[in-house]
């Protein structure tokens, strides 16, 4: 089916805009994400990208047209193989506008044109962020909540008495004025809880909503400082590889089944072990950059990022290449527990030669981590996802995990990173090749 | 054949005719059924003609108190017939005006009494003659109310009157008992007292004008008594012994019976809704204690049938009926309507001194659990009041101490019925004490007292 391209709303308040320029002509091929056109509002000029792909079949609104209504059809995109003749059959009439509210004026509007409008449905509280998209949006606003709000004096007083943020109340009075009844309704529907004390919260001078301040902890400050330095100072590059997990998952299952509760290894444990082994195979990846020298470490001490209430912390599995999977698993659990309890000792989280950050459990497919200095690389691990692939000419489902290595280019070159990932992938896809599986403790 | 309309309004009082005109403005085809007189009781036998009478009685009062203004007049007199005919003339003039307004708004008026004949159908009859059969998707009942009659207070309209006869007396009674001290009773008491009759007011409650604030009631009673009126509260009329041209009224107070011989008795003991003979039994409309049961948009239990004004319950006020008419019609038309806030309905009594109020009384505010602030300002501290020679009265305001909401305003004294709207506007706009304090009141006016009363509630009054 041909796709209608509509005039986009570039901000919540935009009702119309000017179509400044078309970047595609009729007949041009369009890919998703291609620049289609430029739209101008009174505040900004924005580029419009194609969401779908196909061929630009027909341009309905010419370049340079002013005051084009939001949601007006500006063009039609033909899908692959579609003929331009389908456009002629399409309904290209404007989407119907909402019927304006019946004015109670004396010039006798038709009875039929005044359908019963229920007002009850609009009463209540609207809890939403103020529009953020337009830079000038705030200039007309007053930072405090009490002025510039269209509310009756009593509604304001009542809201203040109950610590209710009146900005969030929907007015049902004349012209949308917030009345006592609206505030009472808001207090009733929210129990005052959501918005309670919001008035007491600080506000900045830019019309931003009130906020809850929380002093930066030292941990937070260290994280901020180190990551900023890392991202600014270290020339990062990123390598991504996909690993099939099916063999690993089967092995994990049989191990855990056999353990009968004695232990339970996770995919992450395999990732730690495989990383440690791969670093042993490609020692040039197990390095740190210093001004005078590149230090290549003799053991694979793996820092594993653990999210805690206080911030990110990376307990270390020392000499992970030499430890059995089960030992690693148990150690990891213990360290993660201590990390969350805040009882890690400095030697348990300071040091480490390589980091792993795993967001697979959140369903993250793929991401790029920031190198954890002075280490030379960090592995970002995504979720295992089932995929349909062709195997020996037959379709088959495999579980694929995507990992991305972020590398400090000062001490690790692309080829080294690639070698590491190849070794890693091999261990993950052939987990029994991790030699010490047989001697699980 | 039935005549078909979008809306039929039954009753042409201040509820009905306003509803009809508004509906027509909104594009509906409208019929109005009225068998007696356009404008209803209000215009013909209530608000308006009594105001005409009260004006003349106040003139009489003034003529007897000219000395305080430096005048002397010998032998002033009045012609009761002329007073009454002036009052009737005022009513007729306005009734004609309503007829014109309805015509201008293309409302079809049927001269007859409407009787529902099942949902959506109405028979119009007069003197047992069929006038028309009407059909309408929406029918508004605005049939009003009439004086309540008590068995021990038998009305004959000769010796014992209701409002109607009290408005058109043939001769001036020398003495009379007014039973009931609500707005109607007390206005007649004032009228006859100011024309020179000896008036005794009998009130079953412990104070006059029982719906008003206690303080206002007390001030009113004191004022009436100072003028020479007799007030008996917590008293009941047990019976009447009618003579040829006088009545012996048996009044029980504090377990003791008093007998009072007077020329006439006026019964003003409340009103009952006109719910009979309008065919309610052919519908699902419910009636409770002589009034039609409605929801906040005047809808009865029968879809398509609505009730407004006196027939739909208290307060029995013309402006309440008109406002209900507007709400009802606009709701039918699908406009965005808010239900009426009964706390914003002002009440006015045109006795001397006048009484006007809106919102909660002090006691009701306390009972409702409010922590209140009360302001008072007396007429005798107001320049304009002194200049007018009207030093009796008070403006009282009640605020919610927490939010500053104006909960109620209660006034007694000259012209307060014209001033109360200031507070009503304030309440409708949901004012707090702050806006009222920031409002600049013109000097010299009685309205300055409204400002001072607010200031007094917050201990900021300047002139007291």
Domain boundaries defined on chain B: 3-147+272-342, 160-269, 353-457
Distances (CA, A) of B196 to B57, B143, B165: 9, 36, 18
CA distance B138 to A293: 94
Contacts of A126 (CB under 8 A, 6+ apart): A168, A169, A170
Mean pLDDT, rounded, for A222-236? 90
**A355, exposed or middle or buried, with CB in 10 Å at 0-12, 13-18, 19+?**
buried
Chain A stretch 69-108, residues whose beta carbon is closer than 8 A to a beta carbon of chain B: 101-102, 104, 106, 108
Chain B stretch 10-49, residues whose beta carbon is closer than 8 A to a beta carbon of chain A: 24-28
Residue A210 DSSP one-character state: P
Whether B160-269 shares its CATH topology with B353-457 is answered no
Question: How do residues A190-222 score in pLDDT, each as one tens digit?
Answer: 665 555 555 555 666 666 666 777 778 777 888
Please give the residue of chain A at the shortest CA–CA distance from B432: A154
Tell me if B334 and A115 make a contact (CB, 8 A cut-off).
Answer: yes
Task: Check pLDDT > 80 for residue A438.
Answer: no
Q: What is the mean pLDDT of chain A?
A: 80
CA distance B351 to A332: 91
Task: Check pLDDT > 60 for residue A112.
Answer: no
Structure tokens at B58: 């106040």
- Cβ of B328: how many Cβ atoms within 10 Å? 29
Place of tokens 């104070």: B207
Task: Check pLDDT > 70 for residue A95.
Answer: no
Cβ–Cβ < 8 Å for B16, B10: yes
CA distance A239 to A156: 57
Q: Is A199 helix (H, G, I), strand (E, B) or coil?
A: helix
CA distance A403 to A368: 9
CA distance A248 to A270: 8
| Percent of chain A whose pLDDT exceeds 90 | 37
Q: Identify the bridge partners of residue A381 per DSSP, sorted by sequence position.
A: A358, A403
Contacts of A124 (CB under 8 A, 6+ apart): A170, A185, A186, A189
Least confident of A4-13, A407-416, B9-18, B213-222: A4-13
Q: What contacts 24+ positions apart, CB below 8 Å, involve A136-141?
A: A136/A43, A137/A11, A137/A13, A137/A207, A138/A206, A138/A207, A138/A208, A141/A207
- B344 min Cα distance to partner chain A (Å): 13
Three-state SS for B106-119 is: CCEEEECEEEECCC
**Sites in chain B below the pLDDT cut of 50:** none
User: What are the start-end ranges of the E strands in B364-459?
Assistant: 372-378, 393-400, 406-413
Q: What pLDDT shows up at residue A191?
A: 63
Structure tokens at A426: 């091999």
Q: What pLDDT shows up at residue A310?
A: 75
Q: What pLDDT shows up at residue A192?
A: 55
Q: How far apart are the first and last CA of chain A?
A: 61
CATH number, domain B160-269: 3.50.50.60
Nearest CA to B449 out of B408, B418, B419 is that of: B419
CA distance A24 to A30: 8
Which of B336, B337, B432 has the CB atom closest to A157's CB atom? B432
Backbone angles phi, psi at B443, to 5 degrees: -115, 140
Which of A114, A153, A172 has the CB atom closest to B334's CB atom? A114
Domain boundaries defined on chain A: 3-102, 114-215, 234-433
Task: Check pLDDT > 60 for residue A138.
Answer: no
Q: Helix A246-259 vs helix A267-281: angle between axes, to the nearest 10 degrees?
A: 120
Query: Which ipTM was obtained for this model?
Result: 0.77
In CATH terms, B3-147+272-342 corresponds, of 3.40.1190.10, 3.50.50.60, 3.40.50.800, 2.40.50.140, to 3.50.50.60
Please give the residue of chain A at the shortest CA–CA distance from B429: A152
A347 catalytic, yes or no?
no
Tell me if A179 and B26 make a contact (CB, 8 A cut-off).
Answer: no
Whether A3-102 shares its CATH topology with A234-433 is answered no
In CATH terms, A234-433 corresponds, of 3.30.1360.120, 3.30.559.10, 3.30.70.20, 3.40.50.300, to 3.30.559.10
Answer whether CATH 3.90.1170.30 is correct for domain B353-457. Answer: no
Task: Check pLDDT > 50 for residue A342.
Answer: yes
Cβ–Cβ < 8 Å for B68, B30: no
Q: How far apart are the first and last CA of chain B?
A: 71
CA distance A286 to A280: 8
- B307 min Cα distance to partner chain A (Å): 19
Contacts of B422 (CB under 8 A, 6+ apart): B447, B450
Q: If phi over 0 gives left and psi between -120 and 50 gives alpha, with beta otherwise, what is residue B344?
A: alpha
CATH topology of domain A114-215: Dihydrolipoamide Transferase (4.10.320)
Distances (CA, A) of B54 to B158, B185, B202, B423: 22, 13, 20, 25
- Say whether residue B404 is in contact with chain A using an 8 A CB cutoff: yes
Mean pLDDT, rounded, for A148-153? 85
Q: What pLDDT shows up at residue B402?
A: 92
Q: Is B298 helix (H, G, I), strand (E, B) or coil?
A: coil
Residue A209 DSSP one-character state: P
The CATH class for the domain spanning A3-102 reads mainly beta
Q: DSSP letters along B319-362, please?
A: HHHHHHHHHHHHHHTT---PPP-GGG--EEE-SSS-EEEEE--H
Mean pLDDT, rounded, for A211-236? 84
Please give the residue of chain B at the shortest CA–CA distance from A156: B403
Q: What pLDDT shows up at residue A102?
A: 41
Three-state SS for B302-330 is: CCCEEECHHHHCCCCCHHHHHHHHHHHHH
Nearest CA to B409 out of B323, B344, B315 is that of: B344
| Pairing assessment for the beta strands A45-49 and A354-358 based on DSSP bridges | unpaired
CA distance A267 to B155: 99
Structure tokens at B184: 């109607």
Name the more confident of B419 and A43: B419
Contacts of A154 (CB under 8 A, 6+ apart): A179, A180, B403, B404, B405, B430, B431, B432
- Say whether residue B335 is in contact with chain A using an 8 A CB cutoff: yes
Element (H, E) at B146: strand B145-147
Q: In A, which residues are within 8 Å of B404 by CB distance?
A: 153-154, 157
Question: How do residues B308-359 score in pLDDT, each as one tens digit?
Answer: 999 999 999 999 999 999 999 999 999 989 999 999 999 999 999 999 999 9
Question: How do residues B440-451 score in pLDDT, each as one tens digit?
Answer: 999 999 999 999
Tell me if B26 and A117 make a contact (CB, 8 A cut-off).
Answer: no
Which of A119, A157, A179 has the CB atom closest to B403's CB atom? A157
Q: In B, which residues are within 8 Å of A180 by CB distance?
A: 405, 430
Task: Check pLDDT > 90 for residue A343.
Answer: no
User: pLDDT-derived band of residue A108, with 50, 70 and 90 as boundaries?
Assistant: very low
Mean pLDDT, rounded, for A392-397? 90
Please give the residue of chain B at the shortest CA–CA distance from A110: B27
CA distance B260 to B231: 13
User: pLDDT-derived band of residue A60, with 50, 70 and 90 as boundaries?
Assistant: confident
């Amino acid at each position: 089916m041909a796709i209608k391209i509509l005039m986009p709303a570039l901000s919540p308040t935009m009702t119309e805009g000017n179509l400044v320029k078309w970047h595609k002509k009729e007949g041009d091929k369009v890919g998703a994400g291609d620049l289609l056109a430029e739209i101008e509002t009174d505040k900004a000029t924005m580029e419009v990208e194609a969401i779908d792909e196909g061929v630009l079949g027909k341009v309905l609104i010419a370049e340079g047209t002013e005051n084009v209504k939001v949601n007006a059809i500006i063009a039609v995109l033909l899908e692959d193989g579609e003929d331009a003749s389908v456009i002629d059959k399409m309904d290209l009439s404007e989407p119907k506008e909402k019927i304006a509210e019946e004015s109670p004026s004396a010039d006798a509007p038709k009875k039929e044109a005044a359908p019963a409008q229920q007002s009850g449905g609009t009463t209540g509280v609207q809890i939403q962020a103020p529009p953020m998209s337009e830079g000038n949006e705030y200039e007309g606003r007053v930072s405090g909540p009490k002025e510039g709000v269209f509310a009756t004096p009593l509604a304001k007083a009542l809201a203040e008495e109950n610590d209710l943020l009146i900005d969030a109340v929907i007015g049902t009075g004349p012209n949308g004025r917030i009345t006592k009844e609206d505030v009472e309704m808001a207090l009733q529907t929210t129990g005052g809880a959501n918005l309670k004390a919001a008035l007491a919260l600080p506000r900045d001078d830019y019309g931003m909503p009130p906020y809850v301040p929380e002093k930066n902890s030292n941990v937070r400050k260290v994280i901020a400082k180190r990551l900023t330095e890392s991202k600014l100072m270290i020339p990062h590059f990123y390598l991504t590889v996909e690993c099939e997990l099916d063999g690993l998952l089967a092995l994990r299952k049989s191990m855990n089944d056999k353990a009968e509760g004695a232990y339970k290894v996770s995919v992450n444990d395999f990732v730690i072990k495989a990383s440690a082994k791969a670093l042993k195979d490609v020692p040039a990846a197990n390095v740190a950059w210093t001004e005078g020298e590149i230090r290549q470490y003799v053991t694979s001490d793996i820092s594993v990022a653990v999210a805690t209430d206080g911030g990110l912390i990376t307990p270390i599995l020392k000499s992970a290449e030499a430890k059995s999977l089960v030992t690693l698993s148990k150690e990891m659990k213990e360290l993660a527990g201590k990390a969350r309890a805040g009882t890690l000792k400095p030697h348990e989280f300071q040091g480490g030669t390589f980091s792993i950050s795993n967001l697979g459990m959140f369903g993250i497919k793929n991401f790029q981590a920031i190198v954890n200095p002075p280490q030379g690389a960090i592995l970002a691990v995504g979720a295992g996802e089932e995929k349909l692939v062709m195997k020996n000419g037959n379709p088959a489902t495999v579980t694929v995990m995507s990992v991305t290595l972020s590398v400090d280019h000062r001490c690790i070159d692309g080829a080294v990173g690639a070698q590491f990932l190849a070794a890693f992938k091999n261990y993950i896809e052939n987990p029994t090749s991790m030699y010490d599986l047989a001697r699980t403790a | 054949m039935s005549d078909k309309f979008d809306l039929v309004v039954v009753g042409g009082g201040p509820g009905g005719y306003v509803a009809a005109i508004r509906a027509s403005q909104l594009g509906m085809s409208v019929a109005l059924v009225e068998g007696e007189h356009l404008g209803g009781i209000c215009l013909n036998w209530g608000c308006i003609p009594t105001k005409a009478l009260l004006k003349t009685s106040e003139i009489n009062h003034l003529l007897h108190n000219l000395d305080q203004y430096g005048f002397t007049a010998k032998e002033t007199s009045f012609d009761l017939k002329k007073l009454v005919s002036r009052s009737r003339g005022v009513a007729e003039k306005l009734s004609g005006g309503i007829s014109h307004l309805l015509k201008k708004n293309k409302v079809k008026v049927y001269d007859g009494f409407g009787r529902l004949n099942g949902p959506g159908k109405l028979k119009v009859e007069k003197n047992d003659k069929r006038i028309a059969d009407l059909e309408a998707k929406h029918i508004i009942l605005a049939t009003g109310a009439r004086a309540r009659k008590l068995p021990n207070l038998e009305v004959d309209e000769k010796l014992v009157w209701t409002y109607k006869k009290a408005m058109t007396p043939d001769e001036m009674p020398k003495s009379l008992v007014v039973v009931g001290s609500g707005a109607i009773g007390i206005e007649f008491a004032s009228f006859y007292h100011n024309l020179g009759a000896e008036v005794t007011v009998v009130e079953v409650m412990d104070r006059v004008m029982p719906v008003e604030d206690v303080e206002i009631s007390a001030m009113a009673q004191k004022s009436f008594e100072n003028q020479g009126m007799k007030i008996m509260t917590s008293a009941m009329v047990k019976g009447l012994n009618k003579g040829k041209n006088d009545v012996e009224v048996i009044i029980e107070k504090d377990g003791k019976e008093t007998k009072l011989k007077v020329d006439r008795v006026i019964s003003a003991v409340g009103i009952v809704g006109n719910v009979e003979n309008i065919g309610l039994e052919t519908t699902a409309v419910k009636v409770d204690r002589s009034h039609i049961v409605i929801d906040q948009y005047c809808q009865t239990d029968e879809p398509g049938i609505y009730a407004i004004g006196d027939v739909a319950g208290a307060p029995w006020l013309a402006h309440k009926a008109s406002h209900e008419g507007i709400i009802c019609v606009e709701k039918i038309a699908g406009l965005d309507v808010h239900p009426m806030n009964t706390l914003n309905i002002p009440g006015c009594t045109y006795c001397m001194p006048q009484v006007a109020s809106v919102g909660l009384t002090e006691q009701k505010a306390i009972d409702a659990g409010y922590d209140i602030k009360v302001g008072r300002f007396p007429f005798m501290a107001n320049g304009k009041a002194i200049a007018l020679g009207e030093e009796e009265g008070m403006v009282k305001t009640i605020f919610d101490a927490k939010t500053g909401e104006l909960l109620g305003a209660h006034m007694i004294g000259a012209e307060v019925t014209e001033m109360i709207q200031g507070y009503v506007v304030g309440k409708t706009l949901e004012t707090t004490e702050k806006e009222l304090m920031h409002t600049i009141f013109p000097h010299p006016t009685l309205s300055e007292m409204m400002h001072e009363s607010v200031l007094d509630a917050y201990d900021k009054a300047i002139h007291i």
